[in-house]
Structure 1
């Protein structure tokens, strides 16, 4: 039926899903149902023609969907992945190149400042500039028994991945982002409605909101916009790799299901495009109906 409206509650798979458990960081190919990154549905309109984008965590999930959408909108994309995610990263490269754009997969643990520095240097060497920086990579681990079970090792990993990496990459990239460029961070519904079993993760997502709003004001006079997307539950490899129960994942959203990564990508495209030229310091909520401030 072409572009006929579809019921969003039934457009994608609904719980109950098969129970599945993976070791972090998780693999796309092992997920049931398979996530939709927009492979068959996303159509570009040249909104990011000849832009140079850097996306962290672009091997799978939201990051892959953003990389695919950016490429189909005309951007070249350099993205990060962990060494264990090399297979997923190759698929993202294939999707970007299939769209006729350059796709560069760079192994990088953003918890390490020097690796972040090398990443930015690589992007500038390859592209000459960074038009769009998407800080998307994140880590979580459910601890249903509460704060007593959150080890210092886990806390460090969550904070360094979700906050330190974002801070370093913004600091190092800003000198290479021209007027008209943008930074887009990934926060979460957890920033506003924290789940107790994700306490440390939710804390970092709240910090990302504050960081985004503050940095946006700092960079406004340079013509660089800074915004964030706050997804609700999204069906990505992080879910079976970090949550003990996947059968009813996303059921709590008013729409009754989790989002697919493809449903998040348009928000990142819009915020990077000229259509959002007067939008900065904003958090775009994509929660499936959960009201946020």
Structure 2
């Protein structure tokens, strides 16, 4: 992967719905999961005209990968809808602190939880701290993920394979196991899948496999928890401009990112987060085991 060559700039993190960036800059970052603070074109976190209406008033949410990208946007939208929000992140402290400030700017309480979601002991501690500090848990958003492109399946090491599955799907089992004793009727779980679960990705074999597993996990868990009236759904984004993109691909691919979908551009986190709000709120009270597809117009079955 090419070396980091950007000059980070201050960019607004809000925009009107009709002014989303048409092109992503050809830039890279040298390590995953990437840092939003180092992106020369900051992702749009929330639309200028997004008005909260207390859809999540009094709720407590725990969001993994909540420091940046889609997770940050979900955290800010949830806060604007009245929820207190705990965010889990690996080690991106600057990004996490910025997200916390955004949550608090919405008048809600936030909590930062640094650690590895692939560690079941950490997942238990994260849930316990959320409940102990924020007073409960109503919405679990399993969003954290990593991806490492390889040209051939023979290039995927056992270490990479295990690491990708541990972060992307094992962690969901660990977190649900820890959260379930605290979830009650009307509470919910929202998982982040991907368009790659449906159309595949030749260079992201292990990543797309985990995303397919997340779809099956979502459908299966929804049936398992239906009697408890705990809903489980997922969101399967397409190409969304987040720190994971420049930290994964070379500059040429990043510069063309999202241009192959019908809408002709990468999406922004602000265009995905409202799907999480819908699935976390009572607006979706009769929906479970389903997947929403904010993907720029790719037609997929499922």
TM-score grouping bracket, smaller chain normalisation: over 0.9
In the other structure, the counterpart of 1:288 is 296
Q: Distance in 1 between the 2:17 and 2:42 partners? A: 20
Kindly state the Cα deviation for residue 103 of structure 1 after the two structures are TM-superposed.
0.7
1:208 aligns with 2:214: yes
Matched, 1:86 2:93: yes
Give the whole-Å Cα distance in 2 for the aligned partners of 1:15 and 1:25: 21
How has the CA–CA distance of structure 1 residues 90 and 41 changed in structure 2, closer, same or farther, with 3 Å as cutoff?
A: farther
Q: Which of residues 48, 63, 83 is equivalent to 1:75? A: 83
1:2-41 aligned at under 5 Å gives the runs: 11-15=19-23, 17-38=25-46, 40-41=48-49
Deviation at 1:212, TM superposition (A): 0.3
RMSD (Å) for aligned C-alpha atoms: 1.4
Q: Cα–Cα, structure 1 residues 39 and 89, in superposed 2: closer, same or farther, change >3 Å?
A: farther
Are residue 229 (structure 1) and residue 232 (structure 2) matched?
A: no
Q: CA deviation at 1:16?
A: 5.7
Shift of 1:280: 0.3
Say which of 167, 176, 179 aligns to 1:170. 176
Q: Which residue of 1 aligns with 2:68?
A: 60
Which structure 1 residue ranges, 5 or more long, are not aligned? none
Aligned-residue offset at 1:12? 1.5
Distance 1:217 1:6 in 2: 36
1:98 aligns with 2:105: yes
- Aligned partner of 1:127 in structure 2 is 134
Aligned to 1:187: 193
Find the counterpart in structure 2 of residue 46 from structure 1.
54
1:18/1:32 contact within 8 Å kept? no
| Count of residues in Structure 1 that have an aligned counterpart in Structure 2 | 284
**C-alpha displacement of 1:120:** 1.1
Residue 9 (structure 2) aligns with? none
2:254 is the alignment partner of 1:246:
yes
2 CA distance for matches of 1:20 and 1:55?
26
Aligned to 2:159: 153
Secondary structure at the aligned position of 2:225 is classed as helix
Q: Distance in 1 between matches of 2:64 and 2:17?
A: 31
Displacement, 1:25? 1.8
2:125 matched residue in structure 1: 118
